[in-house]
Structure 1
Amino acid sequence: MRIVILIPTYNEAPNIALLIKDVYRNIKKIKKHLFLLLIVDDKSPDGTGKIVSDLMKANKSLFLLSGKKAGLGKAMIRGYLYAINKLKADVVISNEADFAFDFKHLPDMIEKIEESVDVVVGSRHVGVGKTEGWTLTRRVNHWIANTFFGRWVAGVRVVYDKNGAFRAVRVKGVMDQINWKKLRVRGFAFFFYTIALYSEITDKFYEIPAIYTFRKKGESKVSFNRKYIKSYLTDCLEYAKLAFRIRLKKYRINI
């Protein structure tokens, strides 16, 4: 299989080189698939894209997709389209750039895909999965989004952890059924919303336990940080609206 690992970035200069090294260290353990690493950077002013460009000279399987800052959801959509149409992915695995979810779980994810699972989610809410280093505010925010809006309002129950970026999704029969170009999701609600879309296509979901740790370097964009507060509140409002749209079935896969 051609497996594209997709990582969206914005101002991740302190993390990106170490992250890329960590990804390659983990994929070397998996021999029978072709891996490509795609960094989707929103023209980070801290030079994240430049660091990736320099590393590409020594890594033929490393790709950089740059674009204007338009939100995490838009970055993911650009990345998905590039992975599917340009890199010809059979599977797309996404993750965050802050070492929150450990790439050591890649073999487990791929094993489940090989067993005909369509969507594999790294989950904080099954088995030994958990969060570490979160403040009370962050825990409350996650409960409101994942449980209150995700489970109770929207009624999405195919997985317990609907908001994590760490997931593997099959392209044929799942991702290729969605009209990504017309998907209107700008912020972090993208991950929750796409779980709802996938659930209309397949029932082959699986959650593997994963530990989510708070970033050690760089700035969190999902916070009340003065620099990101406006986009964060906008994303929260979008999340709530999408939850009600899903509940009312006012969305379509092939928009």
Structure 2
Amino acid sequence: MSATRMPAQTTGADATLRRPQPLPPEWGRIPLTVVMPTYNEADNLPKMAEALMGLDLEGLRLLVVDDNSPDGTGEVAETLAKQYNSADRTRITVLHRTAKDGLGRAYAAGMDQAVAEGAQYVLQMDADGSHPVEYVPQMLGTALATGAGFVVGSRYVAGGRLAEEWGLHRRLLSRWANAYVSAVLHTGLRDVTAGFAMWRADVVTAMRLAEVRSNGYSFQVELKYQAVRTGYTGVEVPIHFEERQIGASKMTAAVQFESAVLPWKLRLDSSRARRG
């Protein structure tokens, strides 16, 4: 049984941080595609689409990557595409995959398609509401102003916050996971496990996403590690991470095991490459 959470209250500096930041008109026209993998997100997707389409970003498009959700998320996505698209402007597209093949594979397919369709920037974003839409203009502006290869919506830089609903155990586990990965891989990032990240198109192409080994959430770690190791610069901006609005988390024991083992595999591969 799913439960709907009440939106967090924001005041003072946090409210200012959460307010969508205006960009120069020419920046708002830059082709940006939000890649949003979905599996059983039929209740959340319309809210996310409405929020994204309401941003003052003329160049923004939403690409929904649905893994044949049994709750009809794919059909909901097609309905949204008909609602927001017009004869002269495509705002939402849908990539239907035939099976649930892991978050990493879904992101890889969607990000590659976004670049092939002309996106100059690609944003990874969850469909469950945990990544607030208000930060998208700020992330794009940061990417353009700094020239960074990628921008991370970070929970662990100054000004970043975790969901108020998270208990002490979950907070400690999240911080420990980041500290563990950072100690093994030395990326220099405070939030290397973050799933809210914007990428320059040339970086996406250079990463050869079809060759990425991670199926689950560890895709986020592998992609950032490979980008830093290749020489691309990452910039972190603070966000207030939210609790999922409706539905259940997809974090399984198998996914957690993959996340624990992957950093050592990546480090071993890097050591072998240096010796070679």
| 2:125 matches 1:125 | no
Contact 1:245 1:251 survives alignment (8 Å): no
User: Quick one: which of 171, 187, 197 aligns to 1:139?
Assistant: 171
**TM-score, reference length from structure 1:** 0.87
Report how far residue 250 of structure 1 moved: 5.6
Change (3 A) 1:43 1:5: same
Whole-angstrom distance in 1 between the partners of 2:272 and 2:128: 31
Separation in structure 1 between the aligned mates of residue 49 and residue 39 of structure 2, nearest angstrom:
15
Please state if 1:154 is matched with 2:195. no
Letter in 2 for 1:212: F
Match of 1:100 among 120, 130, 145: 130
CA contact (8 A) 2:112 2:205 kept: no
Aligned mates of 2:144, 2:187 — CA distance in 1: 25
Amino acid at match of 2:158: G
Shift of the alpha carbon at 1:139?
A: 2.1
- Match of residue 46, structure 2, among 17, 21, 34: 17
Identify unmatched segments of 5+ residues in structure 1.
223-231
- Give the 4+ runs in structure 1 shifted more than 4 A: none
Of Structure 1 and Structure 2, the greater helix share is in: 2
Quote the offset at 1:247 in angstroms. Answer: 2.4
1:69 corresponding residue in structure 2: 100
1:23-71 Cα offsets, whole Å, 9 max, x none, are 1112xx235xx22110111111111111111111122210111111011
Taking a change above 3 Å as real, the CA distance of residues 6 and 199 of structure 1, as seen in their structure-2 partners, is same
Structure with the greater alpha carbon radius of gyration: 2
Q: 1:251, CA displacement in angstroms?
A: 8.1
Q: CA-to-partner distance for each residue in 1:137-162, whole Å, 9 max, x for gaps?
A: 422332332111x11122222x1111
**Structure 2, unpaired ranges of 5+:** 1-29, 86-90
Indicate if the aligned counterparts of 1:134 and 1:213 stay in contact, CA closer than 8 A: no
Matched AA of 1:49: G
Number of residue pairs the alignment of both structures matches:
235
- Aligned position for 1:42: 67
CA apart distance, 1:120: 0.5
| Structure 2 counterparts to residues 242-253 of structure 1, below 5 A | 242-248=262-268, 249=270
| 2:162 match: secondary structure | strand
Q: Which one-letter code corresponds to 2:194 in the other structure?
A: G
Amino acid at match of 1:242: L
> Residues 24 and 71 of structure 1: is their aligned pair in 2 closer, same or farther, counting only changes over 3 Å?
same
Deviates more, 1:64-73 or 1:240-249: 240-249
Question: CA-to-partner distance for each residue in 1:81-137, whole Å, 9 max, x for gaps?
Answer: 21122x221110111111112111111111112121211100001121110211334
Distance of 2:96 and 2:142 partners within structure 1: 31
- Distance in 1 (CA, whole Å) between partners of 2:57 and 2:43 is 27
* Secondary structure class of the residue paired with 1:212: coil
TM score, norm. by length of structure 2? 0.80
Q: Is the 8 A contact 2:151 2:237 kept in 1?
A: yes
Alignment RMSD (CA, Å): 1.6
